[in-house]
């Protein structure tokens, strides 16, 4: 009777030892990787949203300041106001980053606002007094700084998502995702880099007056 039970236990020993060694290894390099990188990507996206919101908050004061000097540029001003409204209507939360339609709408609307702001700043070049206005200069400086922060936040998000999405389809993390997490890849920016340049800021230093 003892020999009958000892033989199966002996045969199972190698498999048991393998599992004891493999489970900690897979856990260390796969199980914890996915949730960690997921949270990092969500945090990076939150920073992107914060920077875009910072820009949106600057626009009302910027528009009113320009209107005070260039009221007849109403079409350009309204274009900025409308673009801002569209940009703030679509929000992609960290929990909905897998939705390609929502992400594309967000990206397109933000790009539209960037274009509208660029047109506004181009019009401002025709108004030396406005360019020399202290309030406008301060707003321009804040806008430039915000555009730079947006570019940095986007770049960080793009890289973080690249790493996360790669983990979802490479060994060993993909095994945990296939049989346990079942996470979907996050959406990422597709706009060409040259379309993300901040509007040029000219503080009027070349003006004679």
Q: Distance between CA atoms of 195 and 177, rounded to whole angstroms?
A: 35
Q: For residues 145 and 15, which has the higher predicted lDDT (pLDDT)?
A: 145
Sign of CA dihedral 60, 105, 38, 197: negative
Compute the C-alpha angle 91/174/32, nearest 5°.
75
Mean pLDDT of 18-47: 76
- Residue 158's pLDDT is 96
209 pLDDT more than 50: no
* Average pLDDT score, the chain: 83
Q: For residues 155 and 7, which has the higher predicted lDDT (pLDDT)?
A: 155
- Residue 181's pLDDT is 80
Q: For residues 191 and 109, which has the higher predicted lDDT (pLDDT)?
A: 109
14 pLDDT more than 60: no
- Residue 191's pLDDT is 65
177 pLDDT more than 50: yes
Q: How many CA atoms lie within 13 A of 205 on its CB side?
A: 3
What size, in residues, is the chain?
209
- pTM flag (> 0.85): no
> Is-contact 7 149, C-beta < 8 A?
no
State whether residue 6 is helix, strand or coil.
Answer: helix
Q: Distance between CA atoms of 46 and 51, rounded to whole angstroms?
A: 9
205 pLDDT tier (thresholds 50, 70, 90) = very low
CATH code for the part of the protein at 33-196:
1.20.1440.20
For 104-156, the pLDDT digits (tens) are 999 999 999 999 999 999 999 999 999 999 999 999 999 999 999 999 999 99
- Residue 79's pLDDT is 97
DSSP assigned state of 97: T
Q: Distance between CA atoms of 141 and 131, rounded to whole angstroms?
A: 12
For 18-31, the pLDDT digits (tens) are 445 555 555 555 67
> Is-contact 37 159, C-beta < 8 A?
no
2 pLDDT more than 60: no
Task: Measure CA of the first residue to CA of the last residue in the chain; give whole Å.
Answer: 107
């Amino acid at each position: 009777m003892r020999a009958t039970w000892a033989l199966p236990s002996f045969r199972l020993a190698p498999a048991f030892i393998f599992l004891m060694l493999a489970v900690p290894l897979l856990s260390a390099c796969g199980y914890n990787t996915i949730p960690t990188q997921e949270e990092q990507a969500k945090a990076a996206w939150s920073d992107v949203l914060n920077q875009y919101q910072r820009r949106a908050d600057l626009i009302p004061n910027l528009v009113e300041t320009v209107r005070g000097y260039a009221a007849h540029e109403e079409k350009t001003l309204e274009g900025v106001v409308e673009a801002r409204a569209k940009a703030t209507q679509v929000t992609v939360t960290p929990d909905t980053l897998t939705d390609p339609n929502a992400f594309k709408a967000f990206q397109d609307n933000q790009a539209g606002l960037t274009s509208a702001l660029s047109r506004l700043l181009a019009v401002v070049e025709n108004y030396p007094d406005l360019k020399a206005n202290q309030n406008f200069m301060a707003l321009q400086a804040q806008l430039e700084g915000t555009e730079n922060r947006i570019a940095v936040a986007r770049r960080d998000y793009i890289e973080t998502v690249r790493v996360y999405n790669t983990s979802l389809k490479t060994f060993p993390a993909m095994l945990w995702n296939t049989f346990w997490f079942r996470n979907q890849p996050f959406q990422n920016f597709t706009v060409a880099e040259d379309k993300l340049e901040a509007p040029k800021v000219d503080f009027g230093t070349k003006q004679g007056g």
